[in-house]
Chain A
Amino acid sequence: MTPFEVGLLMTGVLLVLVVIGVRVAFAAAFVGVVGLIIIFTMKQGFERGFWTALQMAGTIPHSKSVTYSLSVLPTFILIGFLAFYAGLTKQLFEASKRWLGWLPGGMAVGTVFATAGFAAVSGASVATAAVFARVAIPEMLAVGYSKRLAAAVVAAGGTLASLIPPSAILVIYAILVEQSVGKLLIAGFVPGIYSAVIYILIIVGMAAWKGDAPAIKGFTWGERFASIPGTLPILAVVAIIFGSLYFGVATPTEAGALGAFVVLLTAIVKGMRLKQLGQALHETAKLAVMIFTLIWGVLVYVRFLGFAGLPDAFRDFIVALPHDPMLTMVLILCAYAVLGMFIDAIGMLVLTLPVVYPAVMALNGGEAVSAADSAFGMSGEACSIWFGILVVKMAELCLITPPIGLNCFVVSGVRPDIPVQEVFRGCVPFFVADVITIAGLLAFPSIITWLPSLM
């Protein structure tokens, strides 16, 4: 067997382990360790090769986790947990309702707007959907919205959290592909807004056509302006994170920490108890260790792939494909859509990117290619940012598609009176909206690349 064949074989074993439900981080590490043992045994004999492999694998957890750029992750996660205790969700929804309620489907529009706003303090989609299911659905039902629409708009709006900074998943992407964390985060901003706008257009269109989502009128300007102060902490966090990243006043870690600090102060003013702070920290720690374990676990497997030479081979395969590069790109994104139906977004990215990313970069013409010489009309760096936002959007799309679109289950879980099938059905228009969004991002890459190119 050649190292390359070992690489393929062990990748097959990994797929089997993941499908039968071995925890992804350890399935990947297991395959990586076994693969390294085989590779080194082939070179050095079993007795020496075994120990070489063990020592090689043993360096990875520490060496790959203890990296400054990754230290931003817990701060981003913490902001989201604290924001709930700071009562920011309610304030945000109230303000959105007062300002946008007059539109057809106004409450749903307000919900999308509020989820987009909350996305600016929350790094995780599922948490956003859970929080808004509680805040927004009862109010929508009270004014006669259908359960299907009310539930779906929350499930779909939740997905915005991973595009609009802060976003844990974009940080992970940036680190896996060795691009600037700040640029990736900034790059998610416009597509996040664009995505929200498409949602809003779909809602307004449907509401005007079906008439099942009445407008809410009668808020005075006084009431509208009175709703603003409650949202100020969110604006502060947006200013801190966006400003720091864009102007480089602070590193992403510092910006995340300052954002978390502001939300923490708000929560304390709102009467958060020590026990609740403990709980938020506890959940943050649990989520952080899960993500870090996944990262180093998969990187053990990636180290093995490096010795096996698999990413190079896959890259050569993709580049040699006879059809148009854009078609290849669409096919890759479709593969992600399918994969995303079965596996969690972060898991999907860390498992696939080490092999897929170099292939995409090569497809465009290499890391150092200029826009003029490239296949997609953009420089290597821009392509890397463009692809990052696209795959994250694909991963988010899968949060509202069957069979395991987690956001739909979460919404249905908060509202046991709304069956999950209803939520999935309600999400169909939003699925269509997402497809339109993705087509737009493919056709007009500058939606993604424009803002970071100014940095």
Chain B
Amino acid sequence: ADVTWNVSLWGKRRAFTENVEKLAEEVAAKTNGRFEIKMAYGESLSKSKENLDGISFGAFEMAQICASYHADKNPTLTVLELPFLGVKDLDMENKVSMALYEHPAVKKDLARWDAMALMATPMPQYNFVGNGDVPKTTKDFEGMRVRALGGIGELMSAVGAVPTTVTASETYQAMESGTVRAASFAPHAHLSFKTVEVGTWWTKNMNPGTVQCPVVVSITAYNALPDEFKTALNEAIAPAMEHYIATYDKVYEKWWPELEARKIQQIEFTEEDLADLRSKAAPVWKKWVDEMDAKGIPGQELLDLVTSTVGN
């Protein structure tokens, strides 16, 4: 290969990393293997929380990151982690992410790390799996110990739940023992962390929010690419995303039967109930905008961009 890029990834190959896998495949095909994108799984090149650091000093050229792992490293991206943005599916999550990446404030934010967001890794909504008494309304979350991080955690505090920190891998046992009663993950994570094995209910339509995990590339490395390779890279994004979303559809094909088989009750909250919950999110949004203002970031503008893109 004329150019080899290393990609820093955490965990094993899974649905979450299929966009990068497909991207590499497409780029290799378009350039006859002259531009190679090499996956490095299992944090072998960097810890997930330090992927932006690695990009900034040129240790590798591409990485997946999640904004909430280090909100202060990428404040602008966290707008997409606010609760109740109304994102319905992965397609919409992708569309709104890509729109956000084009905003000058976001570009500037990431450029501090010599990074630019190339592609989204849209994630499903972080609904709760829980056990014990089934919450009939969102009020029933009052006093309930839940595992929920960041914005979703703040929202749950607002409805009187008690966010309790438990590492992802300990969640199964924590739920079994009652240390926490419910945990918020994407469906595939509920499967891999086995919360479905100890849960009895799932908040089907709560859709409280999700995490924002772009694939970033080094600006220096990107600018050094020959035009032909740049084109190949950019043209690979669309098929990579198509493949990614198709893979997730397959995950859902496992998810629904799993819920059925385990007789997990799928809770659908009423529209009024959810509206009430959404009203609790407003102060969280406001607080976020204020924090951005304090940093000199046009928070309201970013939020408006997101809500208008979702609205369209």
Contacts and interface: CB of A to CB of B under 8 A. Distances in A.
Any A–B CB pair closer than 8 Å:
yes
Contacts of B179: 248-250
Given A44-B58, A52-B58, A56-B57, A248 B44 contact: no
A59 B50 contact: yes
A56 B49 contact: no
A63 B12 CA distance: 20
Interface residues of B, number: 26
Contacts of A11: none
19 contacts: A55-B53, A55-B57, A56-B54, A59-B50, A59-B53, A63-B49, A63-B50, A64-B47, A68-B167, A178-B42, A180-B170, A182-B173, A248-B170, A248-B177, A251-B170, A303-B45, A306-B45, A307-B45, A455-B173
B174 interface: yes
Contacts of B121: none
Contacts of A59: 46-47, 50, 53-54
A344 interface: no
Contact of A248 (B6, B40, B42, B176): B176
A69 interface: yes
Interface of B: 6, 12, 40, 42, 44-47, 49-50, 53-54, 57-59, 166-167, 169-170, 172-174, 176-179
Given A247-B177, A249-B179, A306-B45, A52 B166 contact: no
A192 to B, nearest CB: 21
Given A248-B176, A306-B45, A307-B45, A180 B58 contact: no
Contact of B12 (A68, A182, A251, A367): A367
A441 B44 CA distance: 31
Interface in A163-180: 178, 180
B155 to A, nearest CB: 24
B57 A247 contact: no
Contacts of A182: 170, 173
B170 A48 contact: no
Nearest to A180: B169
B170 A52 contact: no
Contacts of B44: 303, 306-307, 311
A46 interface: no
A202 B228 CA distance: 74
A336 B174 CA distance: 36
A63 B169 CA distance: 19
Contacts of A64: 47
Nearest to B58: A52
Contacts of B53: 55, 59
Q: Is the interface of A mostly helix, strand, loop or mixed?
A: helix
Contacts of A311: 44
Contacts, number: 59
B58 A249 contact: no
A82 to B, nearest CB: 26
B59 A249 contact: no
A367 B39 CA distance: 18
A362 to B, nearest CB: 13
A256 to B, nearest CB: 14
Given A48-B58, A55-B57, A56-B59, A251 B166 contact: yes
Contacts of B47: 59, 63-64
A219 interface: no
B167 to A, nearest CB: 6
A314 interface: no
Contacts of B174: 248
Interface in A33-82: 40, 44, 48, 51-52, 55-56, 59, 63-64, 68-69
Interface string A401-425: 0000000000000000000000000
Contacts of A306: 40, 44-45
Contacts of B178: 249
Interface in A233-278: 247-251
A100 B178 CA distance: 40
A250 B172 CA distance: 12
Most buried by A among B12, B57, B169: B57
B38 to A, nearest CB: 9
A394 to B, nearest CB: 25
A313 to B, nearest CB: 13
Nearest to A455: B173
Nearest to B171: A248
Contacts of B170: 180, 182, 248, 251
Interface string A301-317: 00100110001000000
A62 to B, nearest CB: 9
B220 to A, nearest CB: 10
Interface string A361-405: 000000110000000000000000000000000000000000000
Contacts of B6: 307
A311 B176 CA distance: 36
A248 B58 contact: no
A4 to B, nearest CB: 14
Contacts of A367: 12
Given A51-B57, A52-B57, A64-B47, 9 more contacts: A48-B58, A59-B47, A180-B169, A247-B177, A248-B170, A248-B176, A248-B177, A303-B44, A311-B44
A52 B221 CA distance: 14
Contacts of B172: 248
Most buried by A among B49, B59, B166, B177: B59
Nearest to A254: B179
A245 to B, nearest CB: 8
A250 B165 CA distance: 12
Interface string A290-332: 0000000000000100110001000000000000000000000
Interface in A333-351: none
Contacts of A247: 173, 176-177
A268 B58 CA distance: 54
Contacts of A63: 47, 49-50
A315 to B, nearest CB: 12
Nearest to B172: A248
Contacts of A455: 173
B134 to A, nearest CB: 22
B59 A55 contact: yes
Nearest first, the 10 closest Cβ-Cβ pairs linking A and B are: A248-B173, A306-B44, A248-B177, A55-B57, A249-B177, A63-B47, A56-B59, A52-B58, A247-B177, A59-B50
A302 to B, nearest CB: 8
Contacts of A40: 59
Contacts of B167: 68-69, 251
Interface string A427-455: 00000000000000000000000000001
A455 B194 CA distance: 12
A251 B180 CA distance: 12
A37 B169 CA distance: 35
A347 to B, nearest CB: 22
